[in-house]
Structure 1
Amino acid sequence: MNAKSNTTPSWDQQVDLLVMGAGPAGMTTALVAALEGIKPLILEKSAWVGGTAATSAGTVWIPGNRQSLEAGYTDSADAAARYMDALIGGPDVDGRRTAYLATGPKVVDYLREKTDVHFVPCGKHPDYRDMDGAAITGRALAPAMFDGRLLGKDFERVRPPIPEFMVLGGMMAGKSDLAPLIHRFQSMSNFIYSGKLFLRYVVDRLRYSRGTRVVMGNALVSRLFYSLRKKNVPVMFETTVQEVIWDAGRVVGVVAQSQGKRLRIQTRRGLVIATGGYGHNTKLRQMFMPKPTPPLSVACQSNTGDGIELGLAHGGVVAPETQGPGAFWTPVSVTRRPDGSRGVYPHLSLDRAKPGLIAVNSAGKRFVNEANSYHDFVEGMYASHKTVPTMPAYLICEANFVKQYGLGNVYPGTTNLKRFEADGYLLTAPTLEALALKLKIPSENLTATVSRYNAMAVQGKDLDFGKGDSELNRFNGDPTQMPNPCLRPIAHGPFVAMEVWPAEIGTSTGLMTNADAQVLDSQGQVRDGLYAVGNDMASIMMGTYPGPGTTLGPGLTFGYRAAMHAAGKTV
């Protein structure tokens, strides 16, 4: 990654814009570049497109988007600006927040008009904090379902979701699919719906390694990849950048290693760093994340900080003191897969907010509002851990809770938990005292904690942490549970406990840039021809998490702005 200067190099390949990384931010950058008439090339380290986003919910947070407004949901960028100011607690010094709010809706419309990247309104999907300017509806957009068969053999180039997010070993199911699948024998309509999904999956497996009806983040990356293919944008897989070549203070090319070959590639308009952050870079994790450094990550294995290290080697800077806790967090449980490997299941929204579940630390005491956002839950873990070991923490509920709502990787409707206990995924016990003994936590504390929680659940008011008070809490709770959709006594055994640990779904400390994603040096000056987008760019959220799609929304938006700047176009 050393800087080189060579005024008369010989090039193996010449393009207008080089993009390192085929995640959503990188693919959006390359796609917009092609649409604006310049020639892009994507260099992807792994054998797949999609990065961590391929395993995500795929939601984007775009305040003021036209799709939601046309669907009848009210929102405005001005309200979102007030919300972000209140949440982040500081002024928009570099103008990137303003640029994001102004450009985000334009990007969604641009992609809808010119590509196959289409989003649909999520409707009610509250922001994660009840603050001035927060919205209950309108800001969250989901990628439209995609038919992977349109990609043909290239469908195998789309990174699959984690096994924990697939049914029957290879079938994706979105949030709207869950109820019909779980209750498939309770109505004819559910049975028919589930039968069609299963039949489609069986047919798919005759030709493909998994189901081709893709949703959530897999739909987003598939749509981007399909659009790139239609524009004939090349992606060089298993390719890394070894050196950056500069001339007269500007990036003019790279030396790349591609499947055993060393290539010199010229870039006339710049190099875009979009490698997905530093999720699996031990050194950067220790530098930028809070202590203790979390041992687990939801990021895909190829996110090893290559882009950030390259940017630092070529004059870029990071400012971790302004970037909060270094990452966007979620609690995860550790799964054991059939092949013996270990996986992580992100506890995002399906279980923690439901009535009849609490989280306790090693002292057997509650420490957080369990129904808060996944990011805020982990921040609660870190706050508690300062005085009481809270890594891991334990989710506590009844076996009946698991049957009704599921718990982590245990699906709703499960009544026999022996297999999950045998592989260490959870613990069960006939009494709370026996459960505490298994967990090695004080039984008197756990029983007292549950007793107090139960009394509050009967009254419908969590006096300790406010579970069920916020719009987000109630949205993810059970509306049939009265008077509080997030509270119900934990009274009847057998009882269940599950370990959860902190992990990041995306890193937030990255290279400092301006509003056009140009990398800046320590003096705030542009490193000419060098851009950073996605999780390689310092997050505009400053370590906060406003709502669903906090990383993907900015990733697409600043990828668009970088491409337009490189193409010499006005945004």
Structure 2
Amino acid sequence: MATALFAAIAGLKVLLVERTEYVGGTTALSAATTWIPMNRHSSEVAVDDSLDKAEHFLDGVVGNRSPAVLRRAFLESGPQAIATLEDQSQVRFRPYATHPDYEQDHEGATLRGRALEPVPFDGRSLGADLARIRPPIPEFTIFGGMMIDRTDIGHLLGLTKSWRSFRHAASILAWYGRDRLAQRRGSRLVMGNALIGRMLASLKARNVPILLEATVRAVDAGRGGVEGVTVAQNGAERQIRVRRGLVIAAGGFNRHPTRRAELLPKPTPAYSPAAPGHTGAMQDLALKLGARFGTGGDQPAFWAPVSVRRRADGSTAVFPHFVMDRSKPGTVCVDQTGRRFVNESTSYHQFGKAMFAANRDRPTIPCFIITDAVGLKRFGLGMVRMGTRNLKPFLDDGYLVEAPTIAALAAKLNMDAAVLEETVGAMNTFAKTGVDTQFGRGTTAYHRINGDAAHGPNPTLGPIDTAPFYAVRLYPGDIGAATGLVIDEWARVLKEDGSPVPGLYACGNEAQSIMGGTYPGPGITIGPAITFAYRAVRHACQAGEQRP
């Protein structure tokens, strides 16, 4: 969508082809945080950042896992891409007061300024096209479909404490109430739905045609490169001429029928909270033209621990545990022997990576996140929201495991009671001292910010000592591809010999991650996706002048 919008802004004739019935892939389901150092909003919350500092940070985290020239291209063009969107479309971003890079141990990390979030959007302006946006994950909404972001959460929790929060909460609740009188979903769009909604509105304003439930069957290439595509829709095929370029941005390999098992670590993850359209089919077509997959990344995919539950309609809810429970005081994560294996407050990507590493020595897939009655009430646990009074549905279907003592919980989880009791006892000691001598939980600003600021001496450590006790199973879930097609600094797809496939570009998770399979900060997939969409269009505008 970003590519189509940049191309339309440049005055090009554009066609956007979408595989599913919706616009917006995994981005629509996500927070849509967009990592762009030195963007036009950075100075509103940070005054000490620079491109050199950001480059030094990425060099330290990523190292030689990706070409430095691609990272430099991203840093140089990212701010321009954001400025172009905001100046010439309805896309709007805002900085968050504190939104830290994940890898705080590396020099050049910042606490704010690099991560942008979409400004909420009134979806009513889309009319019937509101239904074309991929709906949010139901478990991330409240009251059966009301979308909220973390600003909203703060106001909802504080609606009895300040007049400002009361007004904000009352406003969004009334808005949603009016929506539900007339339609199935809320029209106040936030996070990923807001970004996709704003892009869709902008594409509509520029009369960009969008084909839904359409599949690219073939890419036609001649001596001069890509010349056209064959697109199937509603049982019919059509040939479409391509003059300046074809940009593939279909989400990557994660649901490819064979490549998933080939590229992901063992055991092959059974669950992904990502959108269903990323089948890798476009990559298969690119490979026929001489494209190649990248190598040398730290991880083939980006990870998050997920919990799983059967919905009433028979579908499976795959819930990513980003920050709402793992980093909160009064929790611990253990393998199937009852031992800790990771710093629970680390980033979701590092957590998933640690699950695979630990599983080589002791069974860790699934692992368990454990809390007590106080922790469950205050912070929730996965799909069990904070303050939930009726736990019976979660207990009946086995999503939530409850026991009166730690020993009894161990028995239900098939663990040695003495081992789990020792683990929980150590956590209770750490809660008193504020120092996790095993894994260093709460030692970085990123850890502490995701904890409970009102809790001391360490905002991520609290006692687990109030019965009953609870556990939820966690699995590694892939949230996006890190391995993809090799591209150059203009997003051109490269062959084995390093030469480009003329007229073929890739961005987003179709392309080899410029982060080299590492996860330096929030939004490091969407930021580069938008930036290389921008660079692809710039190159296509110039190269297209030489193509017939």
AA aligned to 2:90 is D
Match of 2:331 among 353, 357, 361: 357
Partner of 2:214: 239
Match of 1:218 among 181, 193, 217: 193
Match of 1:387 among 338, 361, 381: 361
Retained in 1: the 8 A contact 2:65–2:516?
Answer: no
SS at 2:15 equivalent: strand
Partner of 1:463: 437
Displacement of 1:188: 5.9
SS at 2:333 equivalent: strand
CA RMSD of aligned residues (A): 1.6
Spell out, residue by residue over 1:201-222, the C-alpha distance to the aligned partner (whole angstroms, 9 max, x if none).
1211233330011110110111
TM-score (norm 2): 0.96
Structure 1 unmatched ranges of 5 or more: 1-26
SS at 2:181 equivalent: coil
Matches of 1:162 and 1:547, distance apart in 2: 22
TM-score (norm 1): 0.93
Q: How many pairs align?
A: 543
AA aligned to 1:567 is C
Partner of 2:275: 300
- 2:67 is aligned with 1:93: yes
Displacement of 1:180: 3.1
Partner of 1:78: 52
State the identity %.
45
Match of 1:372 among 341, 346, 357: 346
Match of 1:565 among 535, 539, 542: 539
Retained in 1: the 8 A contact 2:23–2:196?
Answer: yes
Matches of 1:287 and 1:225, distance apart in 2: 35
SS at 1:408 equivalent: coil
Spell out, residue by residue over 1:341-400, the C-alpha distance to the aligned partner (whole angstroms, 9 max, x if none).
211111011111111101000110000000010001111111110100100010011021
Displacement of 1:94: 5.9
Retained in 2: the 8 A contact 1:512–1:538?
Answer: yes
Matches of 1:463 and 1:72, distance apart in 2: 33
Match of 1:501 among 475, 499, 513: 475
Retained in 2: the 8 A contact 1:273–1:536?
Answer: yes
Partner of 1:428: 402
Matches of 2:154 and 2:9, distance apart in 1: 40
Superposition pairs for residues 27-38 of structure 1, below 5 Å? 27-38=1-12
Partner of 1:252: 227
Displacement of 1:418: 2.0
AA aligned to 1:234 is P
Distance of aligned partners of 1:492 and 1:71 in 2 relative to their CA distance in 1, 3 Å threshold: closer
Partner of 1:453: 427
Partner of 2:284: 309
Retained in 2: the 8 A contact 1:252–1:268?
Answer: yes
Partner of 2:174: 199
Displacement of 1:471: 1.0
Matches of 2:289 and 2:41, distance apart in 1: 40
Matches of 1:558 and 1:418, distance apart in 2: 48
- 2:412 is aligned with 1:415: no
**Larger deviation, residues 406-415 vs 78-87:** 406-415
Matches of 1:299 and 1:92, distance apart in 2: 24
Retained in 2: the 8 A contact 1:510–1:535?
Answer: yes
Matches of 2:491 and 2:116, distance apart in 1: 23
Match of 2:247 among 272, 294, 310: 272
Matches of 1:70 and 1:346, distance apart in 2: 31
Displacement of 1:198: 2.1
Matches of 1:385 and 1:220, distance apart in 2: 37
Matches of 1:346 and 1:92, distance apart in 2: 27
- 2:260 is aligned with 1:285: yes
Retained in 2: the 8 A contact 1:33–1:39?
Answer: yes
Displacement of 1:92: 5.8
Displacement of 1:186: 5.9
Matches of 1:79 and 1:91, distance apart in 2: 19
- 2:374 is aligned with 1:400: yes
Partner of 1:154: 129
SS at 2:64 equivalent: coil
Match of 2:27 among 53, 56, 78: 53
AA aligned to 1:391 is I
